[in-house]
Amino acid sequence: MGGRGLRTAGWVVSALVLAAVFRTRARLLPLARLDMTPKLVQHFKGALDAIGLHGGPVRPPRQELDAAERETLRAAVEALGVPTAA
């Protein structure tokens, strides 16, 4: 393979890697957005509970996630493709 073929192969590999990066970013973004909220601890604990590990209740003065927040968290964890607890 000549130099031109190697450059073309390099571009193809770069495009494939970039596509994989964008797919991974799309899966992580919903969960990453939860990192920017005042309920970060609640989201961590809720995510642990969602995948079957013990996150447990939060301590005062923090309050548990409400139903809408739990649904947002569930969808974000599900987008990762991580098996969730029943």
Two structure tokens written together for 31: 């969960």
In angstroms, the Cα distances linking 56 to 2, 11, 24, 49, 74 are 60, 48, 28, 7, 16
Domain ranges within the chain, ordered by starting residue: 3-80
**What pTM did the predictor assign?**
0.71
The predicted model gives 51-72 an average pLDDT of 94
Two structure tokens written together for 75: 């969808």
Inform me whether the pLDDT recorded for 60 exceeds 90.
yes
Going by pLDDT thresholds of 50, 70 and 90, the confidence category of residue 13 is: confident
